[in-house]
Structure 1
Amino acid sequence: MWRYRWIVLGVATFTQAASGFFVQGIGAMGIHLQRDLNLSTAQLGLLLSASQLVPLVGLLVAGELLDRYNERWIIGIGACVIAVSLGAGSMAPGYASLLLVLLIVGAGYSTVQPGGSKSVASWFDASQRGLAMGIRQAGLPLGGVLAAAVLPALAAAFGWRATLLAGGLVALLGAVVFMCVYRRPPAQSPPQDSAPQDRSGARLRMLREPSMIKIILSGTSMVSVHSGVAVLTVLYLHETTSVEADTAALIYVATQGAGVAGRICLAAWSDRRRSGRYSSVLTCMVAVTIGMTALMTPLGQSPAAACLLFIWLGFFGIGWYGPWVAYAAESAPPGRTGFALGLAMAVNQIAVILAPPVLGLLKDLTDSFVPAWGLLTVMTVVTLMVAGRRSADSGL
């Protein structure tokens, strides 16, 4: 029966990729969307933020539901919400309607991220949990790779509305597959809730835990980097290094592919690190600082060098999530894995919402990408210093 866990892992990874397929492709469609809808870079960033607004609260609700009910139905229903909203959005008349559609997509996606992580964590023990989490979390950039390869061509041939319909069909497939295949581990008993009067206090205590503070600090910083890579890569390559739009989209595919490899390799590496799983996250923070700093030098204006730097940023700036989410799951109190994951991811949402439009606005106001990369670099360095000091104090 335990061989079935690899099937669970495959299904959870596929559903993650299918649910995030359209949203992950917005960055690759940036040039097409700006042209067809007459958008600024800040408005393009706002599209990415719109799908992440509802999860600010939705992730907490989803986490609570996951601790009470079977994740099979919670995830499946959420993916169906994504599919229906994208299908309806294919008839959206313009930018404002598209923003509304993406808000609803975010509500559905709130269940997929913590639910998939909880389902994988429940099937794998600590010796393989990092690898399993890394493979599962690779679903998001894997969806990005496929979206970056397909959606720009689809938008060029049939218009941007056709991309929403395609995204809805892919999300629906992910929902159906997960609900048909997933089952809980046979030895897993239904979660036991603490007494109602104790729940609020337990949540507040969780926020004060040293491990949760490190999770929140590093997650906020690194998810901002991920957002920057998503919204700026194609535009940077096209405007700064004079790479053609189609070539820039292919480089973005390679960047997402590096993120897939990073999530798996870095998470597997964290299973074997004597210094602890969180040290892998700190390593990623150092690596992205080096990469973004290089982008701000003359080296970043060379097409070949910029391509390599974005692949580097993809590996570490997207790959960090594998060991991070495994550490978050293992740090959760017994019976509260769903809520702990939802809480950590909900706090991340603040950065996910703010980063794309802020970075886009910085670029619009200064007509340069340097302030955006500089802001992300400073954030990462400050967080690295604070989180690294806390890790040293706790003996990591």
Structure 2
Amino acid sequence: MRWIILAVATFTQAAAAFFAQGLGALGVQLQHDLGIGVAQLGLLMSAVQFVPLVGLLVAGEMLDRLDERWVVGGGAGLIGVALIAGTLAPGYAGLLVVLLVVGAGYSTVQPGGSKSVASWFDASRRGTAMGIRQAGLPLGAAIASATLPAIGAVHGWRATLLTGGAVALAGAAAFVLVYRRPPGLVVAPARAAGGRLVLLGDPALRRALLCGVSLISVQTGLGLLTVLHLHEVAGLSPGRAAAILVAAQGAGVAGRIALAAFSDRARVSRQSVVTGSLLAVAVALVLLLTPLGGSPVAATVVFVWLGFFGIGWYGPWVALVTEAAPAGRTGFAIGLAMAVNQVAIVGVPPLLGLLRDVTGGFATSWGVLAFCVALALAGLSRTTVTIPGSASR
């Protein structure tokens, strides 16, 4: 039964993320159809992530009190209804409002799906299970990147909303119909409100948050800039550039499963696997700042590498956060960690887009991301040195 639960949680994750994660691949078309710049495109991507700044905390609290079945199913259903209603949006402003509502629904899917999988798998297999489930996001993004541009080119951008809405509703229905809590599961009572933010004092959780903020910034930058970089710098057509984004997202699917499975079986800690992903991402970002970033072949290799590590880190990271949570606070701990990440998810796309519009190139945007990763590595090194025995699984 647990593998069925894992399959439906992964499907719902992919379905809920389908449209929002496909926005990057629609970048060239949306700029043309709506007459917007890269900064405005980045704002569209941020709109999906704005409500979760608070919504993830609310969802985490709900998950510690209510059945994940209804919390996740209701959120995915809201995404579907909002996107279908969005086909009536008159233009850019209307699309922004639609994506804000989508973000409210999506707030429940990430932490809810993670908690549902964690409750069915013990620590020896939790990383692998989390990796498979978290692979749903880049899987949904890859499928969206492969299909939505073609749908939009033939039927217009509103048709992409209709498609995304139908997919999200399918995910909601599947989760509500299939998911059940493990038999005999004892739900610990939620702790008092005053103890919630005390979780930030846990050393393992602080290290996870430090890695998470920097890596989610890179992941968000990939979704926004990959197609535009390959089109404008490497000289590829929008179709070929979108295909490489699909390949990078496919590498992210493999990375989330492989890195998480490795964190289950390796002698090193889950934290070490996440830190290794930081180092690999740093190398790739530096390469994009060299002439290799303008070579179609070399840039393709770099973006696939970035996909594997810059998206794949999330599987072991979620397992790390889950295991750092105290009993009865798993939902809130996951929601809190993801809410901290949301600050970067909301702020990074408009910033990177603005830098691209102002400078006329991509070097500054990639450089900012590389600097963020370097700061995280430096901060992580200091934290590890000052907290003995911190390599916790």
State how 1:130-279 maps to structure 2 within 5 Å: 130-194=127-191, 198-200=192-194, 202-279=195-272
Is the Cα contact below 8 Å between 1:68 and 1:191 reproduced in 2? no
Supply the distance in 2 between the matched residues of 1:41 and 1:14 (Cα, whole angstroms).
31
Question: Do structure 1's residue 22 and structure 2's residue 19 form an aligned pair?
Answer: yes
Q: Deviations over 1:188-232 (max 9, x none)?
A: 0233123xxx321x1121112112211211111000000110000
Letter paired with 2:388: S
State the shift of 1:390 in Å. Answer: 1.8
Letter paired with 2:39: A
Supply the distance in 1 between the matched residues of 2:146 and 2:204 (Cα, whole angstroms).
38
Letter paired with 1:150: T
Question: Do structure 1's residue 328 and structure 2's residue 321 form an aligned pair?
Answer: yes
Question: Do structure 1's residue 394 and structure 2's residue 388 form an aligned pair?
Answer: yes
State the shift of 1:328 in Å. Answer: 0.2
Specify the alignment match of 1:371 in structure 2: 364
Specify the alignment match of 2:44 in structure 1: 47
State the shift of 1:285 in Å. Answer: 0.3
Gapped regions of structure 2 (runs ≥ 5):
none
Is the Cα contact below 8 Å between 1:288 and 1:316 reproduced in 2? yes
Gapped regions of structure 1 (runs ≥ 5):
none
Supply the distance in 2 between the matched residues of 1:55 and 1:380 (Cα, whole angstroms).
23
Supply the distance in 2 between the matched residues of 1:214 and 1:273 (Cα, whole angstroms).
19
Specify the alignment match of 1:354 in structure 2: 347
Is the Cα contact below 8 Å between 2:188 and 2:327 reproduced in 1? no
- Deviation above 2 Å: which 4+ runs of structure 1? 391-395
Letter paired with 1:126: A
Counting aligned pairs with the same residue, the percent is 60
How much is the aligned-residue C-alpha RMSD, in angstroms? 0.8
User: Structure 1's 101 and 394: CA in aligned 2 closer, same or farther, altered over 3 A?
Assistant: farther
Q: Secondary structure at the match of 1:123?
A: coil
Q: Deviations over 1:116-151 (max 9, x none)?
A: 000000000000000000000000000001000100
Specify the alignment match of 1:301 in structure 2: 294
State the shift of 1:394 in Å. Answer: 3.4
Specify the alignment match of 2:375 in structure 1: 382
Specify the alignment match of 2:311 in structure 1: 318
Is the Cα contact below 8 Å between 1:78 and 1:111 reproduced in 2? yes
Specify the alignment match of 1:122 in structure 2: 119
**Count of residues in Structure 1 that have an aligned counterpart in Structure 2:** 389
Supply the distance in 1 between the matched residues of 2:109 and 2:251 (Cα, whole angstroms).
23
Specify the alignment match of 1:98 in structure 2: 95
Supply the distance in 2 between the matched residues of 1:352 and 1:183 (Cα, whole angstroms).
31
Supply the distance in 2 between the matched residues of 1:46 and 1:212 (Cα, whole angstroms).
29
Letter paired with 1:347: V
Specify the alignment match of 2:62 in structure 1: 65
Supply the distance in 2 between the matched residues of 1:287 and 1:394 (Cα, whole angstroms).
25
Q: Deviations over 1:250-287 (max 9, x none)?
A: 00100100000000000001112222111000000000
Is the Cα contact below 8 Å between 1:141 and 1:259 reproduced in 2? yes
Supply the distance in 2 between the matched residues of 1:178 and 1:348 (Cα, whole angstroms).
25
Is the Cα contact below 8 Å between 1:60 and 1:343 reproduced in 2? yes
Supply the distance in 1 between the matched residues of 2:75 and 2:82 (Cα, whole angstroms).
11
Letter paired with 2:134: Q
Letter paired with 1:221: S
Is the Cα contact below 8 Å between 1:282 and 1:388 reproduced in 2? no
